[in-house]
């Protein structure tokens, strides 16, 4: 380590190339923020570097140089902006801050919007452990072009047992909901086998369970007894639409094979959406 020199006054001292930072002022929902430009330039090498280097006409104050002329990014909330600042200006030395799921979602949205690929990657990694349902992943993957969540989320929704309700799937849009249901039906048909047993359709549709119907001898209880009544739900499999007889049951195919079939079906059914997300993600990450 070099010995420290005597700290004497030097005429025209040079500025450090690494640690001499300009500041910039943002206004978000009526609140002013003055922060170092360095964080935005470091993590957004294209968007903010270009913004901060735009030429200015003589006598015109650059946007962001003062409280009177701040940068006002549209459609950004204080909650999202402060969450992003927590990440690019951390207050601790032990790595990224501990943020909530909603805070990381805000970080992901702004990092996508402002071309911060490394910040977006971090947000995706954190959200991987915070998103609890495949529906959440599917919703966010569409909004922020996260290819991994798109494949995982859609595959889980196709595979999901008990099945996610149609009402919940409609939050992804009617077309997407119908595609998921069609894919689920195709997988059911290609990974099931016939046997000689009868199953209750009401139990399958309402409870997601396969209940075998044991045909009772006519008149075993009374002369008017129903030989096709399901002993689990008490619905007649012969006369009720809800109790329609089912001849298919889940096969004993290796779960890994079924999972592979589901992933292939998702890629086929959502081909254009996955391609678009892949291209956008590639341009961001």
pLDDT for the residue numbered 101 = 96
**Does residue 171 carry a pLDDT above 70?**
yes
Determine which of 43-47, 96-100, 185-189, 280-284 has the lowest per-residue pLDDT on average: 280-284
Domain boundaries, the chain: 23-130, 147-188+255-284, 193-218+225-250
CA distances from 71 to 35, 45, 109, 160, 221 (A): 12, 18, 18, 46, 81
The stretch 188-211 carries a mean pLDDT of: 66
Axis-axis angle for helices 78-88, 117-128 (nearest 10): 100
8 Å CB contact between 215 and 227: yes
| Length of the chain counted residue by residue | 285
Asked if residue 182 lies in contact with residue 269, where contact means CB atoms within 8 angstroms, the answer is yes
- Computed over every residue of the chain, the mean pLDDT equals 81
Report how far residue 198's alpha carbon sits from residue 214's, in angstroms, rounded to the nearest whole number.
Answer: 8
Tell how far CA 94 is from the center of its chain: 26
The pTM (predicted TM-score) of the whole model is 0.70
pLDDT tens-digit map of 94-132: 778 899 999 999 999 999 999 999 999 999 999 999 998
Alpha helices in 129-146 (DSSP H): 134-144
Supply the CATH classification number for the domain 23-130.
3.30.710.10
What pLDDT does residue 91 have? Answer: 84
**Mean pLDDT of all residues in 64-88:** 95
Least confident interval from 11-15, 178-182, 237-241: 237-241
Distances (CA, A) of 163 to 171, 207, 243: 15, 9, 18
Query: What's residue 106's pLDDT?
Result: 97
Q: Residue 285: which pLDDT band, with cuts at 50, 70 and 90?
A: very low
pLDDT digits (tens, 9 = 90+) for 11-47: 888 888 888 888 999 999 999 999 999 999 999 988 9
Whether residue 219 has pLDDT greater than 50 = no
């Amino acid at each position: 380590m070099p010995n420290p020199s005597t700290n004497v006054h030097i005429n025209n001292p040079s500025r450090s190339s690494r640690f001499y930072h300009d500041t910039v002022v943002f206004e978000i929902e009526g609140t002013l923020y003055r922060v170092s430009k360095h964080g935005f330039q470091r993590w957004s090498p294209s968007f903010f570097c270009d913004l901060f280097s735009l030429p200015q006409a003589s006598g015109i104050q650059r946007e962001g140089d003062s409280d009177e002329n701040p940068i006002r990014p549209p459609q950004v909330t204080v909650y999202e902006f402060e969450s992003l600042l927590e990440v690019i200006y951390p207050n601790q030395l032990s790595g990224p801050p501990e943020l909530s799921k909603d805070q990381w979602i805000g970080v992901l949205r702004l990092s996508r919007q402002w071309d911060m690929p490394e910040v977006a990657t971090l947000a995706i990694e954190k959200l991987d452990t915070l998103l609890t349902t495949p529906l959440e992943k599917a919703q966010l993957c569409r909004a922020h072009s996260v290819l991994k969540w798109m494949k995982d989320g859609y595959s889980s929704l196709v595979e999901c047992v008990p099945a996610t309700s149609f009402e919940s799937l409609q939050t992804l849009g009617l077309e997407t909901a119908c595609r998921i249901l069609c894919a689920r039906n195709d997988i059911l048909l290609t990974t099931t086998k016939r046997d000689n047993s009868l199953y209750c359709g009401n139990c399958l549709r309402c409870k997601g369970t396969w209940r075998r119907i044991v045909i009772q001898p006519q008149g075993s209880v009374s002369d008017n007894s129903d030989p096709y009544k399901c002993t689990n739900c008490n619905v007649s499999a012969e006369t009720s639409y809800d109790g329609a007889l089912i001849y298919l049951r889940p096969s004993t195919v290796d779960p890994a094979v079924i999972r592979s079939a589901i992933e292939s079906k998702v890629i086929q059914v959502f081909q254009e959406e996955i391609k678009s997300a892949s291209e956008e993600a590639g341009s961001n990450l």
